[in-house]
Chain A
Amino acid sequence: MTRLGVTRLLAILAAAILAAAAIAGCGSSSSESDAADTGASTSASADSGGDAIKVGILHSLSGTMAISEVTVRDSELLAIDEINRSGGVLGKQIEPVIEDGASDWPTFAEKAQKLISEDRVAATFGGWTSASRKAMLPVFESNRALLFYPVQYEGLEQSPYIFYSGATTNQQIIPGLEYLKEQGARSLFLVGSDYVFPRTANKEIKAWARANDVEILGEEYTPLGHTEYGTLISKLQEARPDAVFNTLNGDSNVAFFKQLKGAGVSARDMPVMSVSVAEEEVAGIGPENIAGHPVAWNYYQTTDTPENRRFVRAFKDRYGADRVTSDPMEAGYVQVHIWAKAVEKAGSTDPEKVKEAARGLTFDAPEGRVRVDDVNQHLYKTARIGVIEPDGQIREVWSSGRPIAPDPYLRTYDWASGL
């Protein structure tokens, strides 16, 4: 009898919690719609009224992508903090509204809509996977709101309401390929996760290879989250390519490199060029498993600029000495500053005015000077090839020396005409 009573009590308690949550949801929604700027929000800042400019931070804080995206959120918050300490923008403090995309593309779309129509944010910084960007794209376009997207991607896109702070193909993948060719690679094997970035990138790589007399010995995709690479590695060993071009994403890299090392394949025998492995991922893979393999990015923690030294120090001061910085984190940091600069220049947070002001804007980023392209809203970025050191850091071994103009549709490359 007593057991039954307790059971009921718990059930009723649960129901009460739920009901409260639901009712609270109704309440907040109706009040916020009337007074979006003053309504209670999830913001950490206590600033109220017209003193603050809200911006959205929309990354996965849960689910599989949280591993990567949380780090970008951290660097974006760092940038906001820096700007706020130096007086904010237009004399107002920036107030971040943080939402969780939960590694779920539709949730990204929903939360983007929420940030725009309920929180009335001036701009949103967010996304990592191409899928999340593609899901958010129509939301930002139809609301004429701004999204700043911090990660390298596959190109072939140019939305008027998205700023692309990461590299597009010709700023990362093509330099990576050129580097391999320079090192004497005459044959390649393409390995990627089964989603849009690797498939599109590989399409471009194949076109490049045809034009450059490089043989593609194989092209393999594994499901996201795949952890068993035995068969793929034996295919690699059989094909004996001069190098592997790796577009695997997330957890799969860990399994791939561990098992590659276990199979006795070293970076000397078969270098694996990765475009999704940065300092953060190296730590998870284990430096000893991946040391010696090349990667292609625009920024490394070791990049030698005064801005970077300041960035790394500020980041470690804020988040701990054991944390590392990486390319997407740097891009996240940079894009907040670029937005702030554009707002100052425009004298308004109005998206159209900010877009206008951002054209040709330059910023001395940790990776060196970047410039916003006049037309396609991508950044001019310096390509850098690095080799992973046994201590987990990446040593730059090659650099384009100057920022490369972004060319998302590869219009300046003859071999890419068919894409």
Chain B
Amino acid sequence: MEVFLSQLFIGLSVASMLLLVALGLTFTFGQMNVINMAHGEFVMAGAYTTYVLQTSVFGTGAVTLAFGLSLPLAFLVGGVLGLILEFTLIRRLHGRPLDTLLVTWGVSLMLQQLARDIFGAPNVQVKAPSFLEGGITVAGVSMPYTRLFIIGLVVVALLAIWFYLSKLPAGRRMRAVVQNRDLAAASGVRTPHVDRLTFFIGSGLAGVAGVAVTLLGSIGPTLGTNYIIDAFLVVIVGGLGQLRGAIVAAIALGLANAYLEYWTDASLAKAAVFALIVVFLQFRPQGLVVTRRRGLA
């Protein structure tokens, strides 16, 4: 029972990290049909933002302040990178999703090398703020504060996205463009602006995920590659651009990983999860959540 509960917690925390990376992809993949392989590098940029704030700007004396500020700043950094990418390349590749995949992969190569040139090849270290040290134990399950914080961060991110999409005009525009791009354009919605904003937010979320990564793992130029494929699988299993689907898929994959790894080992669990996904797509080739869309023509 204890094992069950502790794996449940671990599964959820794995899921939260997956979801944090996948959220941004859900935006860019779902809205614009862009397979952004450089998304992982935006995560990396977010992580390095935290590092720079902590070491260069504030010094190690104000860890908590630096960490707190890194959340909005990493969002901004990721977002601006996304904007640049959208403006220089993505919008020229409209309607060629497979080509965006290849092009953004080239971008990700360059960003990795850029990070290596700026920050050096070795990993760098970010201190976790002191309030995230330690953890609590509930019903025999020890829950580190860092993991609770990440779960909390995902919940906040989801709430913010929900609020943005359903309560703010810009969010409504974004949904309108997803659901019927031509109709939105013909109704006066400046779709390129919406696309740019979408990419900004999606990439910004990657930056935020980068901040979370610093609490769990290493910060190096190749950080993004560790997360990108898993995140894409979340998006695919969830269904194109479906927020609800992505949440369910992330939780399912996180739990599957946690329990399978407990019974077997990390390598086998990973391979088994891939196999499960192939089987799953046999039954739901479009993912968990599917919506019909109609075009004008």
Contact = CB atoms under 8 A, between A and B. Distances in A.
A62 B113 contact: yes
B147 A226 contact: no
A49 B267 CA distance: 52
B142 A237 contact: yes
Nearest to B136: A264
A211 interface: no
Given A262-B144, A263-B142, A283-B125, A230 B218 contact: no
Interface stretch (B3-11, B151-159, B172-180, B185-193): B3-11
A284 B218 contact: yes
Nearest to A71: B122
B263 to A, nearest CB: 10
Contacts of A130: none
A303 interface: no
A251 B123 contact: yes
B interface bracket (residues with beta carbon within 8 Å of A): 35 or more
A284 to B, nearest CB: 3
Contact of B222 (A64, A221, A255): A64
B130 to A, nearest CB: 10
Most chain A CB atoms below 10 A, which of B219, B258, B266: B266
Most chain B CB atoms below 10 A, which of A64, A222, A261, A286: A286
Given A230-B13, A230-B258, A264 B134 contact: yes
Contact of B266 (A221, A253, A280, A288): A221
A62 B117 CA distance: 11
A227 interface: yes
Interface string A245-264: 00000010111001101111
B262 A227 contact: no
B122 A284 contact: yes
Contacts of B205: none
Interface residues of A, number: 42
Contact of B116 (A62, A234, A237, A259): A62
A226 B134 CA distance: 23
A318 interface: no
B14 interface: yes
Interface string A270-311: 000000000011011110100000000000000000000000
A55 B148 CA distance: 53
A75 to B, nearest CB: 14
Contacts of B121: 61, 66-67, 70
Contact of B135 (A71, A262, A280, A286): A262
A194 B267 contact: yes
Nearest to B149: A262
B9 to A, nearest CB: 8
B257 A223 contact: no
A62 B225 CA distance: 14
Given A231-B7, A280-B122, A286-B127, A220 B266 contact: yes
B10 A231 contact: yes
A281 B122 CA distance: 8
Contacts of A262: 135, 144-147, 215-216
Contacts of B10: 230-231, 234
13 contacts: A61-B121, A62-B113, A228-B17, A231-B258, A234-B10, A237-B142, A251-B222, A253-B218, A258-B216, A259-B144, A264-B134, A284-B122, A288-B127
Given A222-B265, A234-B7, 13 more contacts: A220-B265, A225-B226, A227-B227, A228-B216, A228-B266, A231-B257, A231-B261, A231-B266, A263-B142, A263-B144, A283-B122, A284-B220, A286-B125
Interface of A: 61-64, 66-68, 70-71, 194, 220-223, 225-228, 230-232, 234-235, 237-238, 251, 253-255, 258-259, 261-264, 280-281, 283-286, 288
